Structures are given as C-alpha cells and as structure tokens.
Amino acid sequence: MELKCNKGFLILIGLALSATIGIILLFVGCALHYESANEGIVNWWGLFVLIFYLLAPVPLTLAKLCTVRECASEESLKVLYDICYFISACIVVSGFGLPAVMARNMIIEYGAAGIIGGANIFVFSTVYAFFAFFTREEEWDWTSDDW
C-alpha cells in the first residue's frame, strides 16, 4: 500500500514540528534551576517570550488583510508592508533581547537565556516559513499534488 501525501501537507507537518521543538526548548530553558540562596527554585520568567510569539504575526496578518480587501492604492500598500515588516522585526528583536536582559539582571541563568534564544530561532523561523509558504499569490488546494 502506497502512501500519498502532497507537499503542502508535508510542509505543514514540518512547521508544526518546528514550532513544537521551539516550545519544548522554551520550557526546558525555563525549567533550569536558578542558583541563588534559594536553591531548587525553578524560574518561569522566560515564558514572557510567549507574548512576542503571539505578537510576531499580527502586523503582517493585518497588512495581508488590507491587501485582500484592496483598501489602499499600490503605492500606499508598499509603505504599509514596510511599516509592518519593521514592526515585526522589532517584535522579533525584542523576543531575543528580553531573555538577554533578564539574564544580565540575574532574573534567569545565562544558560536558560541561551536555550530560550534557541527556542526563539525555531519559533520565529516557523512564523517566517508559514508566511513565506501560505501567503503566495497563486492559489493551491490540499488535494492537488502539483503546486
């Protein structure tokens, strides 16, 4: 029996796997023990990065919604996309900067900040790959093998 899967479905599975690895790394980074006077305390402050994970796709989603509804001219859409790319880039840089600032202020360990940075790489690259794949101009459906 031959299994047939189209490429879009396999890419979706890969994106889900990448996001899952990122979230697992985030929890592993938060579960590291903080070496202080209170040994054995697990520090969950690194989970504040989840806010940036949720905010990262919002500007590009709004820009795409404006493009679909054709609510602006072509020149103003270019400006809108530039602003949305800038806001998204600020959110991504903030997602990497927050664990570094928390490690510098000794809220979390430096190792935890490094693991959270690895989680950021997985999750933000998943968000980028999702937008790169699913916002293409040509339409495709889940049942076709050629796209």
Tens of pLDDT, residues 88-121 = 999 999 999 999 999 999 888 899 999 999 999 9
pTM: 0.81
* 107 part of a folded domain: yes
Domain assignment of residue 61, given as a range: 7-134
pLDDT band at 139 (very low <50, low <70, confident <90, very high): low
* 143 part of a folded domain: no
* 97 part of a folded domain: yes
pLDDT of 76 strictly over 90: no
* 109 part of a folded domain: yes
pLDDT of 31 strictly over 90: no
* 1 part of a folded domain: no
What does the alpha-carbon distance between residue 137 and residue 143 come to, in Å, rounded to a whole number? 18
Each residue's pLDDT tens digit, 50-72: 999 999 999 988 888 877 666 66
3-state SS class at 83: helix
* 146 part of a folded domain: no
* 126 part of a folded domain: yes
Provide the residue type at 144 as one letter. S
CB burial of 113-137 (b: ≥16 within 10 Å; e: otherwise) equals: bebbbbbbebbbebbeebbeeeeee
Cβ neighbours of residue 64 under 8 Å, at least 6 residues apart? 135
**Ramachandran region, residue 5 (left: φ > 0; alpha: ψ -120 to 50; beta: rest):** beta
- The number of folded domains in the chain is 1
